[in-house]
Homo-oligomer: A and B are copies of this chain.
């Protein structure tokens, strides 16, 4: 929004391609500039350094994604707990599809974030997503265990399951380029994960 410079936009666009192709570390600023038809000096007029350029590529999308995830996983838990007890995964599926849609709308950038950002500040971004989910599931299992009169799953298993859920998105993205097919698959994945939670309670 704030910037309308054509050169800047061309740089961001070429950087996106380069990061996607080679990953952050192997990406070459020279190569990006060459593609964009400018000199390195021009790049450094718009961006402070390599990492800042990555942020420019990724920032907006990341912000939106973070918001989306938080909005889904920071809601009132009561309804969700009840649905979970009834084995109703419809809400989970709806949320997952919404997120998935966002991911596919920003396909390249999300891929850079999740799989090509090694060596940058974003290399641990997955962990931050996991954190959000983990807090959500911590509270949710708390409620469910209270209602069931059964012990809550281990901290570790909650963390792990949150991780798995994020990994499920990553996997979809990296293995299925077509959004429609991905949307079909996500339903089954959610079914698997929901059933997994059942196992997590039963076991304990």
Is A163 in the interface zone, CB < 8 Å from B? yes
Q: Interface size (A, Cβ < 8 Å)?
A: 38
Chain A 158-204 residues near chain B, CB threshold 8 A: 159-161, 163-164, 167-168, 171-172, 175-176, 181, 185, 187-189, 191-200, 202-204
Question: A175 — which chain B residues lie within 8 A by C-beta?
Answer: 156, 159-160
Question: A199 — which chain B residues lie within 8 A by C-beta?
Answer: 191-196, 198
Question: A176 — which chain B residues lie within 8 A by C-beta?
Answer: 156
Is A17 in the interface zone, CB < 8 Å from B? no
Is A83 in the interface zone, CB < 8 Å from B? no
- At the interface, is chain A mostly helix, strand, loop or mixed? helix
A181 to B160, CA, bound (A): 14
CB distance from A46 to the nearest CB of B (A): 14
Q: Which residue of B lies closest to A164 (CB)?
A: B164
Interchain CB contact under 8 A, B191 and A202: yes
Interchain CB contact under 8 A, B26 and A119: yes
Interchain CB contact under 8 A, A161 and B192: yes
Question: A197 — which chain B residues lie within 8 A by C-beta?
Answer: 192, 195
- In addition to A163-B167, A198-B199, 10 A-B residue pairs with Cβ atoms within 8 Å of each other are A26-B119, A154-B188, A156-B181, A160-B185, A164-B168, A164-B171, A188-B204, A192-B203, A193-B196, A196-B199
